[in-house]
Amino acid sequence: MGAEFVQFSLTPMLIGVLAAIACALPGNFLILRRQALIGDAISHVVLPGIVVAFLITGVVATLPMLVGAAGAALLAVVLIEGVRRLGGIEPGAAMGVVFTTMFAAGVLILEQSDTSSVHLDVEHALMGNLESLVWFRADGWGSLFDPVALASLPEELPRMALACALTIALTLIFWRWLKISTFDEAFARAMGIPVRAVGFGLVTVAAIAAVAAFDAVGSIIVISMFICPPAAARLMTNSLSHQVLWSVAFATLSAVAGFALAGYGPLWLGAVNAVSAAGMIATVSGVILALACVFGPHARRLGEAAANSN
């Protein structure tokens, strides 16, 4: 746990943890609203978003790409809602139509545009490359207090920290609205709570989290961060606030354990090279969910538990 850890593991691990938490928070409400797959849709349209941003600006720069990805996510949400309402199509199918079409358009534009000069890596966008977000200038824990070294932190870290802080703040501020409009929409409407705006805001926050996380962990692995920690948390408790805390714990555990396993696991097995950290984080979150399904104290629906105990 010395200089090497700070240099090569600390920042990617932190970014992984922040990304996992930022995704897990809105994920809690998405799952309770039976909208878990909106995360799926959002994360698939991140790719076309960055491709279009690249086409318009002509440079591979962070800000335009984030804006492009966020724009694509919001466009996807609006289109899904449009197809659902205008066409009378069930939400799952509407999502499937919209995000696959946008994804195809993104790939097509990418292949058509001249990407030989600039490297726009599809696989990277889909699978992420967490390991590369290292802190070269660091030479030990002391670097945490060294302004020069701090200035060379990978820019993903402050960005992800900001996104995570935003999700936490919004979750806390709008807690009551989120809770009541998720539990009892009709009652919330009758109270005058802007139910549709709350729903749209939730999806927007999810989009922001997905966009901020994608180039660290890849746009598809983000899905498991939206869903696995909150789903496992749902099986641990019957209180919403406890569920959210559990989901944060599971998200953190997945990120830390996944990163460590990806880096050191192969070495223990005698291999030389590390495996994908993002993929391993997703795998760990899946294992946690599987364990929660088997051992979670509240894994079953209440009615069934009562019926079984009789």
Partner 1 sequence: MALLEALFLQSGYNAALVAIGAALLGFSAGSAGSFLFLRKRALVSDAVAHATLPGVALAFIVMVTLGGDGRNLFGLLLGSAVTAGLGLLAIEWISRRTRLSEDAAIGAVLGVFFGFGVVLLTVIQTMSSGRQAGLESFLLGSTAGMLFQDALVIAGGGLFSVLVIWLLKRPMTLVSFHADYAASLGYNVRQIDLAIMGLVMAATVVGLKIVGLILIVAMLIIPSVTARFWTNRSGRLVWIAGALGGVAGYLGAALSASVPDLPTGPIIVLVAAALFTLSLLFAPARGVFAAAIRHRRFQARVHRRQGLLALAAQHPIREGYTLRLLAREGLVRADGVPTLDGRAEAAKVVRDEERWTIARRIHQDIGLSGQYDGLTPIEEVFTPDEIAEFDRRLGAPEAV
Partner 2 sequence: MAPFEPEIVTTDGQLLPAAVPADAALSIRSATVSYGDKPAVFSVDATFPSGAMSAIVGPNGAGKSTLLKAALGVIPRVSGDVFVFGEPVEKARDRIAYVPQRASVDWDFPTTVLDVVQMGLYPRLGLLGRLGGAMRKEALFCLDRVGMADFANRQIGQLSGGQQQRVFLARALAQDADLYLLDEPFAGVDAATERAIIDVLHSLKADGKAVVAVHHDLATVREYFDHVFMINVRRMAEGPVDITFTTAALQSTYGGRLAATHLSELALSGAG
Q: How many Å apart are CA 299 and CA 188, to the nearest integer?
A: 28
**Nearer Cβ to partner 2, position 29 or 54?**
29
Q: Is 183 near partner 2 (CB under 8 A)?
A: yes
State in angstroms the smallest separation of the CB of 255 from partner 2: 24
Interface positions, 190-219, toward partner 2 (CB under 8 A): 190-192
Longest Cα–Cα distance of the chain, Å, equals 69
Q: Is 306 near partner 2 (CB under 8 A)?
A: yes
Among 67, 120, 126, 161, binds partner 1 (CB under 8 A): 126
Q: Torsion-angle region of residue 88: left (phi > 0), alpha (psi -120 to 50) or beta? A: left
Q: How many Å apart are CA 180 and CA 127, to the nearest integer?
A: 36
**In 3-state terms, what secondary structure has residue 1?**
coil
Give the distance from CA 106 to its chain's centroid: 20
Interface positions, 203-242, toward partner 1 (CB under 8 A): 218, 220-228, 231, 234-235
Residue 126 binding target from partner 1, partner 2, none, CB below 5 to 8 Å by type: partner 1
Residue 240 binding target from partner 1, partner 2, none, CB below 5 to 8 Å by type: partner 2
Please choose, out of 1-9, 49-57, 153-161, 231-239, the segment that lies near partner 2 by the rule CB under 8 A. 231-239
Residue 183 binding target from partner 1, partner 2, none, CB below 5 to 8 Å by type: partner 2
Q: Is 80 near partner 1 (CB under 8 A)?
A: no
Q: Give the residue ranges of DSSP H helices in the chain.
A: 3-4, 11-32, 37-57, 62-87, 91-112, 122-127, 147-151, 156-173, 175-183, 185-190, 195-217, 221-234, 240-268, 277-295, 302-309
Residue 285 binding target from partner 2, partner 1, none, CB below 5 to 8 Å by type: partner 1
**Nearer Cβ to partner 1, position 149 or 214?**
214
Q: Are 25 and 208 in contact (CB under 8 A)?
A: no
Nearest CA-CA partner of 49 in 67, 68, 27: 68
Number of neighbouring beta carbons within 10 Å of residue 130: 31
Q: How many Å apart are CA 228 and CA 158, to the nearest integer?
A: 25
Residues that bind partner 2 (CB under 8 A): 32, 173-177, 179-180, 182-187, 189-192, 234, 237-240, 242-243, 301-303, 306
Residues that bind partner 1 (CB under 8 A): 31, 34-37, 39-40, 44, 83, 86-90, 92-97, 100-101, 103-105, 107-108, 111-112, 122-123, 126-127, 218, 220-228, 231, 234-235, 262, 266, 271-276, 278-283, 285-286, 289, 293, 296, 298-302
